[in-house]
Amino acid sequence: MLRFLVPILLLLSSFAFASEPSTAAEIVRASLSSAQTELSFDPASSQDLLLTAKIAYQNGLLGLGQADFSSLEKALKIRDEKAFAIATATLWTSILRGAYQQLEISLQKQDFNAARAWLLVREYRRATKFNPPETEATLAFEALAAKSADTKSTLLAIKADLLGTYQARLSEALLEVERNLKRNFGVLAAQNAALANGYFLLLEQGYPNAKLAAAKIAFKALVALPSTASLQVVQTMIRGWRAAPLSETERNKRAAQLMRFYSLIPVEYARGVKTENGLTQITRDLEIAEATAFWQGANAAFTDLESLLVQRNADLTASARANLQLVGQQLELASRKQPVSLAELQQAIEAGQKPLEQLIPAAWRATTASADLVVIRQHLGQLETALQQGAFEQAETARVSAYAVLESGVEARIKFFQPQLATEIEMLFWNGSNPLGLAKIIAEQGSLEQLRNTRRELLVKLEQAAKLVGTDTSPTATFVNALVIVFREGLEAVLILAALLGSLKRPEVRHLRRPLWVGAIAALFASALTFLIMRGIVNAFAVFGERLEAVVSVIAVVVLLIIMNWFFHNVYWNDRLASFHKQKHSLLGVSTGQGLGLLVLGFTAMYREGFETALFLQSLVLQSGVSSVLSGTAVALAAVTVVGVLVFALQTKLPHKKMLVFTGVLICAVLWVMVGNTVHIWQVVGWLPIHAIGNGFPAAIGLWLGTFATWEGILIQTVAVTLVIGSYFLAEGLKHRTMQQKAAAA
Amino acid sequence: MKTKKILQCIIGVVTLLASSALADSPTVVKSYLLTQVTLQQKSTNALKNAARRYFDLVKAQNFKYTKLDAAATRKAVQEARVAWSKASPLYESVEGIVAGVEMLASFDLNLDAGSSAKDGGDAIVEFDLKLGNGQVLAKPGNAFGVIEGSLWGTEKTYSSGLPFDVDGNGKIDFGDQLPDAYVLQAAADKLDELTGQLLETAKKWNPTTADVFAALVANVPTAASVFIERWKTSRFVLGEKSTQRDFNVISSLNDLVQNISSWQNLYKGVTAGVKAKNAALDAQINTGLSSLKSWAQKLEAQEKTRRFTPEQAEAIGKEGENRATALTGRISQAAALLGVKL
C-alpha cells in the first residue's frame, strides 16, 4: 500500500513545491545512486527512488529543459546494473553541463539571483592535504554582484575554477576506469567511462575543432566497451589539452609546488627506511606517509601542468610522467612494507627531475610564499606529532626541515623587506625566549602547550611574511634584492681585506698579501661552487645553513684576533722602533704560520658570508630566474669593488701614520661587526644563552653593525674590541718603558 | 506596575536578543561539546567502577579466572560493556569537534583515533598504560580501543584467554571471554582520566568561526577515507575474515552517524552567518549533512541483513566520497564568503 502511496504523494508534491536547482540536483544524484545500489537487492525500491529523482528534476531543474529518463527506466526494467550506472552518470553530467551553461547566460544577462542559484549546481575538486577546494568562482561572483568586478573578469575566473575542476574530475574518472578494469569491476568501469564522457562533453568547447569528432568517437567507444585499449585511445586524444588555461599565478604556483614537493620526497623517504646487508626496511611509517603526501602533491600539480608541458616538449613530458608514476609505485610498495632502497627511489626521482628541469622555465618556478607555507605547516604538524610521541630526535628533524624550507625559500626576501620580522621568525624556530623557540622546546623536552603556543605564534608571523613577500616577485624586485644581499655581505669581507692589505704595503711584509688574496679568491670560488651545487637541492643545503655559518664565523673571528694581535704587536710596534732587521727576523721566523693564518682569514672572511649568500641567491633564482639575480650580483660586486678601491686609495693618500690609525680603526669596526654577528648566530642555534635588553634595537642596527639587543652580544663585542685596543696600548706602554729604561741606561 | 511591565518587556527583548545571538555564534558548539562530554564522563566513571569491581573479584580469587563466581563476574563485565557502549557513541558525537580543534586534537588521538606503537602509522597514542602488577604497556593504542579489545577479546593480549558466556545466552559466541583484569582496570582508569581532562580543556576553549570551519573541512572528508574504509574491512562486512582489532562492537557506520551529528552541531555555530551571505548555500550544506547522515543510517540498517559484494562495497565507498567531497567544497565556499581563509 505504502509503495503505491509514496509515488503519488511525491508526484503531488511536485506541483506544490518548486525547489532550488542545487537541492533538486542533489536529490537527483543521491536518489539515482541509491537506486543503483537497490537494483540487485530491492528493485521496487529502485523504482521509487527513480521516481523521486524525476520529481526532483521537475521541481528544480526544468530550466535545463526536459531530461531523458528513458534509459534509466529501460535499465531498471531489465535490471541491467551496468546500463543503469551508465545512464546515471550521463544524466548527472548533463545536469552539470546545463547548469554551467545557465550560469554563463545568467551572468551575461546580469541576472545575479539566477547566476547564484546555478553556481551551486557544481562539483568540487577533491580536497588534499595541500590544496583545499577552490573558491575563486564564488569570490569572483560575489565581487561582481557587489559591483567591484566586471563581467568579463568574473567569467574568466569562474571558467578557470569550474572547467579546471571538471578537467580534474575527468582525469580522476579515467584513472578510476583503469583501476576498476584491473579489479574486474565492470559496472564501476563503465560508470566512470560514462562520467569521463560527460565531463568531456562539458569541456568540449575548449577542445581543438579538428580533432573533436574523433575524440567524441573515442569517448563513446570507451563507454560502450571499457578496455585498456579504448582507454589508451582516449588518453592519447586528450593528452596535452587543457580546457581552461591556468592563470599565470596558478601556473607558477603549480610549478613551484611540483618542484618543491618532488624534491622533498627522497628527504622524507631517507628518514623512513634503512638498508642493511642489501635489505631495506621501514623504520618510520610517518616518514613514508609524509613522502607519499609530497608525491600526491607533486602528482596533482603535474596533472594540472601537463597540458602546458606537452606543448613545450611531448617526449620530455612523457618521460617526467613515467618517472613520477614509477616513484608513486615505489611509495605504494613502501606503504605495503615492501620498500625499495633509497638509492633506487633517488634514481627514479632524479630521472624525473631532469626532464622537469628542462621543461619548466625558471620564470614558472617562482617560489610562492604560500607554497612554502603549506610545506612548513606540514613539517610543523609532523613536529607536534613527534613531540606527542616523545620522539624528540624526529621532532628536531621536522623542525630543521621546516626551517630549511623557509631559508631556501622566502627568508631572503623577508630579510630584505622586513628584517625585524625575519629575526622574530628565526628566534621562534630556534632559541627565542618569549615564547620559547622550537629548538629550545625540543632540547628541553618541553610541553605540548609550549610547542603549540610557539607554533601558533610562528604561523601568525609566517602569514605576515607571506603577505609581505607574496605579491612581488618581479625581476626588478629580485634584482634589487640580490644587489642588496651581495653588497651587504660583500662589504664586510672586502673591508677586512682592504684593511689588512693596506697594512701590508711595506716591502718587508708585502709577501704576506699573497696568502690573504689566495684565501679570499679561494672562498669566492668556493661560494660560486656552492651556488652551483645547490641548484636543485637547495633544500638539503639549507638544513646546515645556520650551524655552518656559526662554525665558520667563529673561525673567522679567532683568526682575525690572532692576526690583529700580530698586527698591532709587530707592524705598529716594530714600525715605531724602526728596527727593520729585528722585525724581518721576527717575521721570517714565523712566516709559515702567519701565511697560513692569513690564508685562513682570507678564506673564512669571505666564505662565512658566501655560503648564506649563495643560499639566498639560489632561492631568488627559484623565484625569478637566473638573469635578474646574476645582474643584481654583478652590480653589487662592482659596487663592493669600488668601495674596496676607494678604501685603498684613501689609505694611499693618507700619511703613513694616519693610514695605520685609519686601518686600525677599520679593523676594529669590522671586528665589532663580525663578533656581533657570530654571537647572534650562536644564540640563534642555541650555543650561547640569551639575555635580552629591553624591547630590542631597530633591525638596521643588527643588519649593518651586527649589534643585537642581548647582553651577551654587547658584552662580547666590547670585550673583543677592548682586548685588541688594550693590547695596543699595553704594547705602547711597554715600548715607552723600554725606551725610558734605555735612555736612563745611556 | 507600569514600570515593572516595561522592565519585564526590556528584559524579555534583551533575553531574546542574547539567546538568538548565542544560537548564531560558535559558542553554541562549545555548549554542545560540554554537555556531551559531561554525559560521557558519567559513563566512563561507571565503566571505571565496573572495571574496579571486576578487578576485585579476580583479585579475591588470586587471579585464578577459572575460580570466579559466574553470576557476579557476568554482572561486572556486562556493566562495564554497557558503560563502554554508552560512552563510545557519546564521544563519537563530539569527535568531529575534538579532532578538528587544535587545542583538543590530542585527546582524539588518545581516546579514539590513535594507533598502538606496535601497529605504527602516523598517529600513535601518547600514553603508556601502567598496570597494577607493575607491567607497562607502552603506547598500547587508543583508550576506547584497548577497552574494546579487552572486554570483547578482539585483542588477545588484553584478554584473560578464558572463554566465558558473558551475555548469558548459553553459547560461546563473539566476545564471550573474560578480560584481563589488570588491563581493563588500567585502561578504564585512563579513559576516565582523559575524559575528565578533555572536559577541563574544553571549558577553556573559546571557539571562533575560523575554528568551526577548520574543524569541518578537516573532518568531513574522513566520512569516506576513515569511516567507510574502516567499515569495509570490519566484522560487519567481512564477517569472521576481519582481522581488525577495534570498531567491531559498534559499526563504523554508527560512528559515522554520531560524527555527522557533531559536524551538524559544529555547523550550527556558523549557519546564521552563511545564511546571511547565501541562503541557498546554507540550505545546501544543512541538507547535505542530514542527507549524509540518513544515508549512513540506512546503510547501517542494511548491513544487518545484506552482504555486499566487493564491487558494491567499492561503489558505496565512492558514493560516500562523492558526498563528502561535495560537502567539503560547499563548506569551503561558505568559509570564503565569511572571509575565513582555510
pLDDT tens string B218-266: 888 888 877 887 787 777 777 666 666 666 677 888 889 988 998 998 8
B 106-145 near A (Cβ less than 8 A): 106, 109, 120-124, 126, 139
Q: Which residues contact A397 (CB under 8 A, 6 or more apart)?
A: A271, A386
The nearest CA of chain A is from the CA of B320 a distance in Å of 10
Sort residue B141 into left (φ over 0), alpha (ψ -120 to 50) or beta.
left
Residue A149 has pLDDT above 90, yes or no: no
Q: What pLDDT digit, counting tens, does each position of B292-320 carry? A: 999 999 998 888 888 888 888 889 989 99
What's the confidence (pLDDT) of residue A546? 60
Q: What is the predicted pLDDT for the residue at B142?
A: 94
Grid cell at residue A181: 578494469
* pLDDT at B146 (0 to 100): 95
Residue of A126, A378, A448 to mutate when probing chain B, most B C-beta within 10 A? A126
Distances (CA, A) of A61 to A8, A9, A53, A165, B224: 20, 19, 11, 22, 28
Start-end of H helices in A247-366: 248-272, 285-312, 314-335, 342-359
Residue B309, phi-psi category: left (phi > 0), alpha (psi -120 to 50), beta (remainder): beta
What pLDDT sits at residue A591? 57
The pLDDT assigned to A301 comes to 86
Long-range contacts of B227-236 (CB under 8 A, 24+ apart): B227/B252, B227/B253, B227/B255, B227/B256, B227/B259, B227/B296, B227/B320, B228/B252, B228/B256, B228/B316, B228/B317, B228/B320, B228/B321, B229/B317, B231/B256, B231/B303, B232/B313, B232/B317, B235/B174, B236/B303
The upper half-sphere exposure of residue B282, i.e. CA atoms within 13 Å in the direction of its Cβ, equals 15
Name the residue with higher pLDDT: A664 or A399: A399
Do the chains contact at A132 and B342, CB–CB below 8 Å?
Answer: yes
Residue A743 has pLDDT above 80, yes or no: no
Specify the pairing of strand A279-282 against strand A273-276: antiparallel
- pLDDT for residue A369: 61
Q: Which of the listed ranges A591-605, A622-636, B39-53 does the model predict with the highest average pLDDT?
A: B39-53
The residues spanned by each domain of chain A are 2-238, 247-365, 367-473, 475-740
Grid coordinates given for B108:
582524539
What mean pLDDT do residues A385-409 have?
76
DSSP state of A244: S
CB atoms within 10 A of CB A704: 12
What's this model's pTM, rounded to 2 decimal places?
0.63
Contact call for B326 and A33, based on CB within 8 A: no
Chosen from A93, A142, A389, A458 to mutate, greatest number of chain B CBs within 10 A = A389
- State the pLDDT confidence band at B7, using cuts at 50, 70 and 90: low
Q: Which residue in the set B278, B326, B332 is minimally distant from A132, CB to CB? A: B332
Chain B, 241 to 300: residues with Cβ < 8 Å from chain A are: 278, 280-281, 283-284, 287-288, 291, 295, 298
The beta-carbon neighbor of B326 closest among A123, A388, A452 is: A123
Name, of A124-128, A150-154, A569-573, B51-55, the range with top average pLDDT: B51-55
3-state secondary structure chain B: CHHHHHHHHHHHHHHHHHHHHHHHCCHHHHHHHHHHHHHHHHHHHHHHHHHHHHHHHHHHCCCCHHHCCHHHHHHHHHHHHHHHHHHHHHHHHHHHHHHHCCCCHHHHHHHHHCECCCCCCCCECCCCEECCCCCEECCCCCHHHHHHHHHCCCCHHHEEEEECCCCCCCCCCCCCEEECHHHHHHHHHHHHHHHHHHHHHHHHCCCCHHHHHHHHHHHCCHHHHHHHHHHHCCHHHHHHHCCCCCCCCCCHHHHHHHHHHHHHHHHHCCHHHHHHHCHHHHHHHHHHHHHHHHHHHHHHHHHCCCCCCHHHHHHHHHHHHHHHHHHHHHHHHHHHHCCCCC
3-state secondary structure A5-55: HHHHHHHHHHHHCCCCHHHHHHHHHHHHHHHHHHCCCCHHHHHHHHHHHHH
The mean per-residue pLDDT over the stretch A304-331 comes to 90
- Cβ–Cβ below 8 Å for B325 and A126: yes
pLDDT of residue A200: 97
Give the range with max mean pLDDT: A73-82, A276-285, A299-308.
A73-82
**Using the beta-carbon criterion (under 8 Å), do B333 and A125 form an inter-chain contact?**
no
What is the pLDDT at residue B18?
A: 41
Q: Does A41 touch chain B (CB under 8 A)?
A: yes
Across the A:B interface, residue pairs with CB atoms under 8 Å apart total 109
A367-473: CATH topology is Four Helix Bundle (Hemerythrin (Met), subunit A) (1.20.120)
B159-163 vs B177-179, strand pairing mode: antiparallel
Residue A624 banded pLDDT, cuts 50, 70, 90? low
Instruction: Find the angle CA(A501)-CA(A504)-CA(A509) to the nearest 5 degrees.
Output: 140
| B240 has a chain A CB within 8 A of its CB | no
Residue A243 — pLDDT band, cuts 50, 70, 90? confident
Cβ partners under 8 Å of residue B199, min gap 6: B34, B37, B38, B41
The pLDDT, as a whole number, for residue B37 is 94
Q: Using 50, 70 and 90 to split pLDDT, how confident is the model at A457?
A: confident
pLDDT confidence tier of residue B286, bands split at 50, 70 and 90? very high
Query: What pLDDT is attached to residue A472?
Result: 43
Residue A481 to residue A487: CA distance in whole angstroms: 10
| Rounded Cα–Cα distance for residues B183 and A121 (Å) | 53
Mean pLDDT of A158-167: 91
pLDDT at residue A517, rounded to an integer: 85
Give pLDDT, residue A563.
64
Whether a cis peptide bond, with omega within 30° of 0, leads into A435 is yes
Answer yes or no: are the C-beta atoms of B336 and A135 closer than 8 Å.
yes
Look over chain B and give the mean of its residue pLDDT values, rounded to a whole number.
86
What percent of chain A has a predicted confidence (pLDDT) above 70? 79
Q: What is the mean pLDDT of residues A566-575?
A: 54
The pLDDT assigned to A604 comes to 77
Q: Could you tell me the residue ranges of all domains in chain B?
A: 26-205, 208-342
Residues present in chain A in total: 746
Task: Give the mean model confidence (pLDDT) for residues A340-352.
Answer: 91
- Mean pLDDT, chain A, whole residue set: 80
For residues A626 and A123, the model is more confident at: A123
Residue B256: CB partners within 8 Å, gap ≥ 6? B223, B227, B228, B231, B296
If you average pLDDT over residues A175-190, what whole number do you get?
A: 94
Q: What are the chain B neighbours of A390 within 8 Å (beta carbons)?
A: 126
Q: In whole angstroms, what is the distance from residue A382 CA to residue A299 CA? A: 21
* Backbone torsion region of residue B139, taken as left when φ is above 0, otherwise alpha when ψ lies between -120 and 50, otherwise beta: left
Say yes or no for a CB contact (<8 Å) between B314 and A23.
no
pLDDT at A586: 45
Share of chain A above pLDDT 90, in %: 27
Measure CB to CB from residue B280 to each of A120, A185, A456 and give the nearest one: A120
Contact A138 B337 (CB under 8 A): yes
Highest mean pLDDT among A320-324, A458-462, B185-189, B338-342: B185-189
Measured between alpha carbons, how far is residue A647 from residues A147, A298, A492, A498, A518 in Å? 61, 51, 13, 7, 20
Higher pLDDT, A101 or A662: A101
Would you say residue A10 has pLDDT above 70? no
pLDDT of residue A84: 97
Least-confidence region, from B100-109, B164-173, B239-248, B313-322: B239-248
Cα-only R_g, chain A: 35
Q: Please report the pLDDT score of residue A16 as a whole number.
A: 46
Matching residue, cell 663592493: A640
Predicted confidence (pLDDT) per residue in A59-94, tens digit? 999 999 999 999 999 999 999 999 999 999 999 999
User: Is pLDDT at A319 greater than 60 in this prediction?
Assistant: yes
Q: To 10 degrees, what angle do helices A81-108 and A21-38 make? A: 170
Q: ∠ CA A158-A162-A166 to the nearest 5 degrees?
A: 165
- Give the nearest chain B residue to A390 (CA atoms): B126
pLDDT level of residue A104 (50, 70, 90 thresholds): very high
Contact A124 B325 (CB under 8 A): yes
A695-700: which pairs have CB atoms within 8 A and are 24 or more residues apart?
A: A698/A420, A699/A418, A699/A419, A699/A420, A699/A423, A700/A419
* CATH among 1.25.10, 3.30.70, 1.10.3470, 1.20.120 for B208-342: 1.20.120
The residue among A245 and B212 whose pLDDT is bigger is B212
C-alpha dihedral over A227, A232, A233, A234, to 10 degrees?
90
End-to-end CA distance of chain A: 138
Of A120, A127, A388, the CB nearest to B284: A120
- Classify burial at B156, counting beta carbons within 10 Å of its beta carbon; exposed 0-12, middle 13-18, buried 19 or more: exposed
Q: Do A138 and B330 touch (CB under 8 A)?
A: no
Tell me the pLDDT tens digit for each residue of B70-100: 999 999 999 999 999 999 989 988 887 888 7
Q: Is the model more confident about A482 or about B142?
A: B142
> What is the C-alpha separation between A608 and A523, in angstroms, rounded?
9
Q: Which residues on B lie below 8 Å from A17 (Cβ)?
A: none
Better-predicted residue by pLDDT, A515 or A199:
A199
Q: What b/e string do you get for A134-146 counting C-beta neighbours within 10 Å, with b at 16 or more?
A: bbbbbbbbbebee
